[in-house]
Chain A
Amino acid sequence: MNNSLPRLIDGMIATLRREVLPNLEGEFARGQAIGIIYMLNSIQRRASWSNRFFQEQLIAFSKASKELQAMAGELPGAPLPGVTNIPDLPDEGALEARRNAGDEQLCHMIDWLAERRDSLPAGVVAQVETILDNYLNRQLKWDIETSAKPMFTEISRGRED
């Protein structure tokens, strides 16, 4: 992959829209192609090449750098590459798992509060609900901000005009 991810997705969308869609027979098939365009638009707003992909490349670079540095005495004046510290970044799967675990804990908290709200002071209940609602609103706002414009009309009609 030697192109940027956003440009690759732009290219795929343009090809589908200009070259594939006009030549597709049938409303359903065209609707599916528009569904692919919509999902590519959605992916573009959230996706990047994975940390794991770059980390493996950095590990290889680091190994080569170290080996070349070890030969410095035999290579006077050579532009030896510096050894890069590889940041210990979690991969996307680990981040997603942490997000999910956090949400699961909040689900338990919400269920617990629902069962006991009558035995807790009203002010405490209101305060907890405000904290939860602020969290939920922030998450939902972010979800919507990073979503593509829906194309349901176009998908069901099988055309974009």
Chain B
Amino acid sequence: MALQAAIGDFLSKDAGRPIVIERLQKFPAGFSWITYGVKLRGHPRADDMILRIGPPYGLFAPYSAMPEFQSLSALEGSGVPVPRAFAASDDHSILGAPFFFCERVAGDTPLPWGGGDGAMNDARRESLAADFIDSLAALHNFDWRRTELEQWDPSITVDNAADRQLDFWWERFQRWALRAHPMAHRTFAWLRRNKPRAPRVTLVHGDYRLGNFLEQDQRISAILDWELVHLGDPTEDLGWAFLPQYRGGTRMVCALADEDAFLTRYQDKVGYKIDRAALHFYIVFSLLKLALTHMAAARCFEDGLFNDMRMPAMATQIGPVFRQIAKIMERSS
């Protein structure tokens, strides 16, 4: 009830009129940000919102709401389907942690590990594939330079984009690892040696995959979970989407399109050809990021920040993901 009252106070001040919170519903999904559905009355822009709060014990804590809020705001009206962003703050005194409010978009989330999606018929799959690829291309065509996103990293270039991300994840590796991991060092060394030049610097979603979009009537109604959004090499998003973990038991990228069809359509939309060596680099990098995320889960659980059993379960996958990396590097040497 304290949270509900605090939400009412904040939204009333923000809207300049009294807002009544009718219902607050916590969604069970997610390891990182806590998501609530907020039914409200009196707000000029919506009577149903999503509230996302980044708790101090979350997987990627400490959080800032600004990257997600600013990117959703900048992308409103672009070709990328995103929820409209309403308000955000990193001020802990308001709701106890960074937070943002956005539109509640209708739709369901097909999950890569949820089972049952093998039954996806061709018409549905092809429609979702087209939206999935086109939305990614639209994101990578988006002109971020004329928005506030330019301030995120004014000195990023096509030459240092890969290094920026390697530095970012190396720092997190140092923070999260509970013990020494020679395989992570071996992979970082390989990535530093093989880093590609970006075809352009774009807005990168950072977690673009099956499970992070909403589907309604066989169309993608919104791309979700922008917490890892940053400026970088667009091939990074392809590498992540191409991971075997998100193929839903099929051979297709995100259980939606085969690799060649995916690349053909994407290349046509962005207007340049994907460098296969760069894609290979970003698939290896994505696997490493996945292993590091599992380390974050191990760290979260070990530090006693929370007892969600999904955390140690995720942590058991560090070895299998490293084994995948070893096999890929073996094949490419």
**Residue in B113, B179, B309 whose Cβ sees the most chain A Cβ within 10 Å:** B309
B207 to chain A, nearest CB (A): 16
Is A155 within 8 A of B309, CB to CB? yes
Is residue A68 contacting chain B, with contact meaning CB distance below 8 A?
no
Which of B124-132, B156-164, B186-194 contacts its partner? B186-194
- Closest chain B residue to A159 by CB distance? B115
A136 to chain B, nearest CB (A): 5
Is A107 within 8 A of B111, CB to CB? no
Q: CA A118 – CA B181 in complex, angstroms?
A: 24
Q: CA A140 – CA B330 in complex, angstroms?
A: 14
Which of A4-12, A32-40, A51-59, A74-82 contacts its partner? A32-40
Given A36-B309, A147-B320, check contact A157 B181 (CB 8 Å). Answer: no
Kindly count the residue-residue contacts between A and B in the assembled complex, taking CB atoms under 8 Å apart. 92
Specify which of B114, B182, B185, B320 is in contact with A156 (CB 8 Å cutoff): B114
Known: A140-B323, A156-B113, A157-B114. 4 other contacts (CB 8 A): A100-B179, A140-B326, A151-B313, A157-B115
A–B Cβ pairs within 8 angstroms, 20 of them: A27-B28, A31-B309, A36-B309, A38-B309, A39-B309, A107-B182, A111-B189, A114-B193, A136-B326, A143-B320, A143-B323, A147-B319, A147-B320, A150-B317, A151-B313, A153-B113, A153-B114, A153-B115, A157-B114, A157-B115
The 0/1 profile, CB within 8 Å of A marked 1, for residues 124-167 of chain B is: 00000000000000000000000000000000000000000000
Specify which of A38, A107, A117 is in contact with B180 (CB 8 Å cutoff): A107
- Closest chain A residue to B324 by CB distance? A140
Chain B residue numbers with a CB within 8 Å of A36 are 309
Is A147 within 8 A of B180, CB to CB? no
- Closest chain A residue to B116 by CB distance? A157
How many residues on chain B are close to A (CB under 8 Å)?
A: 28
Q: CA A100 – CA B185 in complex, angstroms?
A: 14
Is A144 within 8 A of B320, CB to CB? yes
- Closest chain B residue to A32 by CB distance? B309
Is B323 within 8 A of A144, CB to CB? yes
B203 to chain A, nearest CB (A): 29
Specify which of A31, A110, A133 is in contact with B310 (CB 8 Å cutoff): A31
Is A132 within 8 A of B310, CB to CB? no
Is A132 within 8 A of B309, CB to CB? no
Chain A residue numbers with a CB within 8 Å of B186 are 110, 132-133, 136
Q: CA A150 – CA B113 in complex, angstroms?
A: 11
Is A114 within 8 A of B322, CB to CB? no
Is B180 within 8 A of A137, CB to CB? no
Q: CA A153 – CA B310 in complex, angstroms?
A: 11
> Closest 9 CB pairs between A and B?
A35-B309, A143-B319, A114-B189, A103-B180, A104-B180, A28-B28, A106-B182, A110-B185, A140-B323
Chain A residue numbers with a CB within 8 Å of B322 are 136, 140
A117 to chain B, nearest CB (A): 8
Is residue A141 contacting chain B, with contact meaning CB distance below 8 A?
yes
A49 to chain B, nearest CB (A): 21
Is A137 within 8 A of B326, CB to CB? yes
How many residues on chain A are close to B (CB under 8 Å)?
A: 38
Is B183 within 8 A of A140, CB to CB? yes
Chain A residue numbers with a CB within 8 Å of B114 are 153, 156-157
Given A100-B179, A113-B189, check contact A155 B310 (CB 8 Å). Answer: yes
Given A27-B28, A39-B313, A155-B313, check contact A141 B185 (CB 8 Å). Answer: no
Chain A residue numbers with a CB within 8 Å of B193 are 114, 117
Interface residues of A in 51-95 (CB under 8 A from B): none
B255 to chain A, nearest CB (A): 14
Is residue A44 contacting chain B, with contact meaning CB distance below 8 A?
no
Specify which of B28, B192, B316, B323 is in contact with A42 (CB 8 Å cutoff): B316
Q: CA A135 – CA B326 in complex, angstroms?
A: 11
Interface residues of A in 99-132 (CB under 8 A from B): 100, 103-104, 106-107, 110-111, 113-114, 117, 132
Q: CA A141 – CA B323 in complex, angstroms?
A: 8
Given A35-B310, A42-B316, A100-B179, check contact A107 B185 (CB 8 Å). Answer: yes
Specify which of A28, A117, A133, A153 is in contact with B326 (CB 8 Å cutoff): A133
Chain B residue numbers with a CB within 8 Å of A113 are 189
Q: CA A139 – CA B319 in complex, angstroms?
A: 9
Q: CA A1 – CA B271 in complex, angstroms?
A: 68
